[in-house]
Structure formats: structure tokens, C-alpha cells
A = this chain, B = another copy of it.
Amino acid sequence: MRKPILEDVAAAAGVSKMTASRALRGAGDVSKDTISKVRQAAERVGYVGNRLALSLSSRRTNLIGVVVPSMSNIVFPEVLSGISETLEGTGMQAVFGLTDYDPGKEREVIRNMLSWRPAAMIVTGLDQPEETVKLLKQAEVPVIQIMDIDGTPIDYCVGLSHTAAGEEMGRALLQEGRRKFGYVGSRLDRDQRASRRKAGFERALAEAGLRFISVRVGEQVSSAVLGKRLTIDLLADPGELDCIYYSNDDMAAGGLFACIERKISVPETILLAGFNGLELTDALPAAIATSYSPRREIGRTAANLALRALGDAGTTSERIVALSPKLSLRRQAATES
């Protein structure tokens, strides 16, 4: 027996297709009696609506396309959680796509998503190639760009200035009296945000007449393992560093593990600084400096911007939502306990 369609429900309930449709959606004026009759009939025949038909017919979907570069650390999964959480109960549904930091893949993923006629798009970064931007603009759906605000958004963006974050961290570490800086990162050609943090940091150093004494940039995906290896390598360079800036917390954690094994005291001898403010940093056996990036909140805000853009045109939102990273140089006191 073929899968039941609306007409089967209508027949089973003894009403017309249209009445059944209205009853199931709770739209229009349908008598309480009819509604329960239809609902029961639907239950009985095991009806599951067909969104393809619904969306084609009504010319709108409940889909929000979300495009992120990677799932290899916890950052984007947390953004997705924030989006998913905010969308819950709204009837909207997120659809995710991965680009692996590849602009070509990104364009294909976006093109594919657009063919599903999503109600809105959330994409990572402000640096899409022109062709991709054109694609997004032609789609005529609200576009929310996330993570970054250094640039001009297509419609909306929410995130933080990575240049400023790097600069702020640089200033703070100089303030702490550090003078001999090293840098450890990876894949800066692909990860524009990490590379802007580095540039911002270097600007702060330049103002003090300083620059990175030693630098290591890996080719692999960033991870604690890579951070550890590059740190060990870096520490072999001549010149005693008193501070290392990492592209992110995963790398910095690896650096800390290297220092622990070598019995270098952190942060006394060398101060380590990362980026993201991962929960992991609170558990580490020594403090590393970090800027907390509000990943979940970025996800929530992005979803809210999308919802608002789809709702009544009355409520206008700021086009650029700047969230500031919270700098933390020392271990957080256990604030709440």
C-alpha cells in the first residue's frame, strides 16, 4: 500500500482535501469537531505530510542554510548548537554544509543549498569571492555572515573583529611585561580569521618596537598534537622567549603540554596565549591567556537575525552585530561558587 497522502486522510475523515489541510495546520477557521476528526484520521493512516509539496505550493520553505568551514574542533559545532537551539520551536530547520575552507567547495555547497530555496542563509566569514556573493544576492534571501565583522556584510553579520582581538591580546601581554614573543599557528592561508589575529597582534608589537622572534606555521589542521610539536620545535630556537601567541586554544593547550613535559613553568617563565576561550582552558593544570569568543551566542544571534529578517518587516535589526571577545590572562576565579 502506497504512502498515505492528504487525500487519504481527507477521505478517511469524510471531508475535503482542503479542510483536512487546514485542520492539520491549524489554519483558517475549522470547527473543533472537524479538527479532531481529521487529526484522528491522520494518526490512523499514519500520515506524514510532504514538505516538498507544501513548500513548492506555498513558495516558502522552513529551511535555513548554514555553511561552515570545518568540524575539526569544537568551535563550529558550538555555533551550530546555538543556531539549532534558537530555531527549536520556531518551525524552522537548519541545514548544514561543510566547505573545508575551500572557496570552490563553498560555492558548490551554497549553490546546492540555494536549490532548496531556503528562507535564509547563514555563512561563515565576510570574505566570499565575488562570484559567491553574486549567487547569494541573486537568491534574494536574507544572508547572515558569522564569526567576523571586519568588512562589509551582504545583509547582516555577527561576530567579532579578529584584528582587534589580536591587537588587544598583544597590548595586554606587553602590559604584563612580556617582551620576547613567539608565534605558533597553522594553515594561515586558509584561515583568514586566525591570520588577522596574528596581524593585529603584530601591530601591537610594532607599536612597542617589537616583533615575533620565532614563528612556526604548520600545514595540518590545528590541534593540541600539532601545537605541542611546533612548540617543542620553536623552543629549540636560540633566544629565550617569554611569551608564545597561538592561533587558537587547541594549539595553545598543546603548547602547555609541551611545557609541562619540559618542566617549564607556565605562565611564570613563558606565558602562553590562545584564542577562543574553550571550556578546556578552565581545566588545564596551568593558566593560559585567551580571548573568549562567544560562539554559541554568535549562533543564537545569527538565528535570531534570520528569524527577524523573515518576520514582519517592521522590526529592523542592526546590520552588524559586534560581540566583543572577553580577554582572560589568568585563570578565572571560580566565580559562582
Contacts and interface: CB of A to CB of B under 8 A. Distances in A.
Copies in the complex: 2
Given A72-B81, A73-B74, A285-B261, A117 B52 contact: yes
Contact of A71 (B52, B81, B228, B253): B81
Interface string A38-52: 000000001011111
A282 interface: yes
Contact of A115 (B48, B98, B115, B260): B48
Given A257-B285, A260-B285, A285-B260, A93 B77 contact: no
A189 to B, nearest CB: 21
A84 interface: yes
A78 B76 CA distance: 12
Nearest to A228: B283
Interface residues of A, number: 54
Given A51-B116, A95-B95, A115-B49, A253 B283 contact: yes
Given A48-B115, A53-B56, A95-B95, 10 more contacts: A51-B116, A52-B117, A71-B81, A71-B84, A76-B77, A77-B77, A95-B96, A223-B280, A225-B282, A260-B260
